[in-house]
Amino acid sequence: MSNNIGNICVVNSGVSESGYVPLSQMVKIIRRISDKTIVISSNTFKKLYEEESESEDIHSFNRINEVSFKTPFKFFFIQIYISYLLILNKNRYRSCVFFIGHHLIIPIFLSKILNKNTLLVYSGFWQNSKESKKTIDLGSVFEVILYVITKVNNLIVDKIILYSEDLINKWDFKKYNHKIIISHRHFLNFSKFKKTKELKEREYMGYIGRFQRKKGIQNLVLALPIILEKNPELKIILIGDGYLFKPIKRFIHKKNLQNQVILKGWVPHEDIPDYLNKIKLLILPSYTEGLPNAILEAMACGTPVLATKVGSIPSIITNDETGYLMENNSPEQIAKDVCNILENEEIEEVSKRSTKFVNDKFNFENVLKNWKKILEDLDNN
């Protein structure tokens, strides 16, 4: 694709296996519309990306894990190292795209000092989010620091990308309206993510995502005894990893559910379509979200989704039309909704409508056109 956008640097504070897909999608988009793409991210991203694609210009580092991320020294050390990489490559890029990097105040400030076009892309947001107060400690000094950093970064950057207009209010971003652009980086490979098995042939209800409190998986697990009591033939598969994995495993054994509930752990992304075609209902009971890939991938595979009304999810799922929305993510509500949906004869039609919706909206060429325009306008301002 011809362009006059120049070179672009994509910056991320580091991803694990579970965060690889969103960042790789962003890189693939930028790579198609820029003259040269430079990526600053974790060693994990570099390894997975180079296994999947041809070699990219990637500068990597050891990511901060979920626990040590809350250690201020390590938090700022990574920012200093990212800043060093930005300075090292300062003559090799014109624009800087910070993807899921709203806490990177030192690199963002440096990008502006270097007179680079600076774009901040939000995938999710939890500091002081109206949706996520139950999952964070607002009294924590470090949480307050992150909150202030995010506010400062929103003021510094040239443009802010959000996945839907709903997020402006949900995340209290109205004051940044003049610099907000609504777009997304989501696209699917429909040759891989497609329906290969009818719903009536599927035996599992499932979850795919990180095992973290903000994902609400603990509430789903608490709902399982109720669901299985009413649906004793049902099998559950939970896919993902995180700090709640071991506590959830202990709970399942305590309730003697190990014969009905499979804890699969982390699964390579290329295997996800096979699992989705075994699942008759995917449940995402998150407290806060941006726009989860798992929802779109499930819909493409004809798997109905039950999710909370957070983030951009209501812009994708219309209740009883392209999926199902729960009023809240309490264990009782989850159990009630699941049992009702499994008895709903309209679930096949919901499956068909959701697949058509995703195929129409989330193809690569449409996403590419949107991002090309965003970066051209940024460069011309």
For 249-266, the pLDDT digits (tens) are 999 999 999 999 999 999
Indicate if 16 and 150 belong to the same structural domain: yes
What is the rounded average pLDDT for all residues in the chain? Answer: 88
Indicate if 331 and 265 belong to the same structural domain: yes
Indicate if 256 and 348 belong to the same structural domain: yes
Q: Bigger pLDDT: 128 or 325? A: 325
Q: What is the dihedral of CA 305, 307, 310, 315, to 10 degrees?
A: 30
Q: Bigger pLDDT: 375 or 54? A: 375
For 30-58, the pLDDT digits (tens) are 999 998 999 999 888 888 887 776 556 88
pLDDT given at position 55? 57
Q: How many domains does the chain fold into?
A: 2
pLDDT given at position 75? 79
Residue 365 has pLDDT above 80, yes or no: yes
Q: What is the mean pLDDT of residues 164-174?
A: 88
Query: Which tokens go with 266?
Result: 């982390």
Q: Is position 1 within any domain? A: no
For 262-309, the pLDDT digits (tens) are 999 999 999 999 999 999 999 999 998 888 999 999 999 999 999 999
Indicate if 292 and 376 belong to the same structural domain: no
pLDDT-derived band of residue 8, with 50, 70 and 90 as boundaries? Answer: very high
Of 20-24, 117-121, 330-334, 349-353, which range is least confident?
Answer: 20-24
Residue 207 has pLDDT above 80, yes or no: yes
**H or E segment to which residue 280 belongs:** strand 279-284
CATH of the domain at 255: 3.40.50.2000
pLDDT given at position 54? 59
Q: Is position 155 within any domain? A: yes
pLDDT-derived band of residue 166, with 50, 70 and 90 as boundaries? Answer: confident
Q: Are 135 and 112 in contact (CB under 8 A)?
A: no
Reduce the DSSP state of residue 118 to 3 states and report it.
Answer: strand
Q: Is position 307 within any domain? A: yes
Q: Are 118 and 112 in contact (CB under 8 A)?
A: yes
Q: Is position 84 within any domain? A: yes
Q: What is the mean pLDDT of residues 306-320?
A: 93
Q: Is position 2 within any domain? A: no
For 73-93, the pLDDT digits (tens) are 777 888 999 999 999 999 999
Q: Are 289 and 123 in contact (CB under 8 A)?
A: no
Q: What is the extent of the structural domain holding 344?
A: 199-361
Distance CA 95, CA 98 (A): 10
Indicate if 182 and 231 belong to the same structural domain: no
Indicate if 252 and 182 belong to the same structural domain: no
Indicate if 227 and 211 belong to the same structural domain: yes
Concatenated DSSP letters of 165-210? THHHHHTT-GGGGGGEEE-------TTTSS--S-GGG--EEEEES-
What ranges in the chain are assigned the alpha helix state H? 20-33, 43-52, 72-88, 105-113, 141-156, 166-170, 217-230, 245-254, 272-276, 293-300, 313-316, 331-342, 347-361, 364-380
Q: Is position 370 within any domain? A: yes
Indicate if 160 and 265 belong to the same structural domain: no
Indicate if 353 and 369 belong to the same structural domain: no
Reduce the DSSP state of residue 307 to 3 states and report it.
Answer: strand
pLDDT given at position 19? 79
Q: Are 149 and 72 in contact (CB under 8 A)?
A: no
Indicate if 63 and 209 belong to the same structural domain: no
